[in-house]
Amino acid sequence: MLDPQARALLDLIESRGLPAVYQQTPVEARAAYRERRFFTQPATPEMAEVRDLGIPGPAGDVPCRSYRPVGSQPGQLLPALVYFHGGGFVIGDLDTHDVLCRELSNGSGCAVISVDYRLSPETRFPGPVDDCLAVTRWVSANAASLGIDRNRLAVGGDSAGGNLAAVVAIGARDAGDTPIAWQLLIYPCTDIRMGTESHRLNGDGYLLTRDSMNYFYGHYLKDPADKLHPLASVLLHPDLGGLPPALVLTAGFDPLRDEGRQYADALSAAGNRAQYVCFERQIHGFITMGKVLDEANTAVALCATALRRALAS
């Protein structure tokens, strides 16, 4: 059964006749995503500190936002989460995920660094990957100046951001210069081929549609052959061993449900510690919608608690 609150939200969107993402230009879709957040997101939590940063990337500074939780002290070394927002690699920014990052920081007692990587189609694969890797490496190398414990650094993200977090964990493992302690993968896209049963069952009618995914991936990839690249479809990576422990969270009415579960299974099969939780009655994108979906707040609390435990000293 679809969560009644999610059903009411979908019915409201349909009744208002709002254009789908794939019916808009990327610029229009970005503006609409920013504007709609006020309807579904909770009130903005207070923090001990919030500041915007410019962190060096391969094409200039990458805009980032640093959060420190309520109750933390200046100069205190905190565990930290580097967070990559969702939005299909095309939409989303620091503001669309501001409330979620605040909630994760306060709930876990960790610092959070939110990353505004370059979007597609202006920057196609692997440009966003390169940004996220560069920011994560810089945060690790400059942890002390940020008030962060370098040995307690996690990566995380939702949807496209979950893909990027998984890729960063692999890149950090391969480079050997950036220790990552944990991964938070919220309904990640892990197989851009879109061939699972949940894509067939949930590809229409549940907010994230097949047409929207084709729009996102069409803007992200330079060539259809990139669907098979292991840093795009991370589920296809030939070596998933030696990766940080992970929490993979999915939604039952999400087209991405099956590939999220498959990635959790692949992590476990490769010898990693992985936990998997599915909110069976929810839709894609639900975790940022705590103003209208009660289960979103439950999911945020679950993620924050798992993050706190994973990065405990």
- Catalytic residues, which ones? 159, 254, 284
The alpha carbon dihedral of 221, 224, 227, 231 has a sign of negative
Residue with tokens 């949930």: 202
Strand partners, 68: 49
Phi, psi of 153 (to 5 degrees): -115, 125
The DSSP symbol for 58 reads B
Separation of alpha carbons 305 and 289, rounded Å: 19
Phi, psi of 92 (to 5 degrees): 95, 150
Rg (alpha carbons) of the chain, rounded to whole number: 18
The set of residues, in sequence order, having a beta carbon less than 8 Å from that of 253 and lying 6+ positions away, is: 2, 6, 202, 206, 281, 282, 283, 284
Separation of alpha carbons 279 and 298, rounded Å: 10
| Residue 224: cis peptide before it, omega within 30 degrees of 0 | no
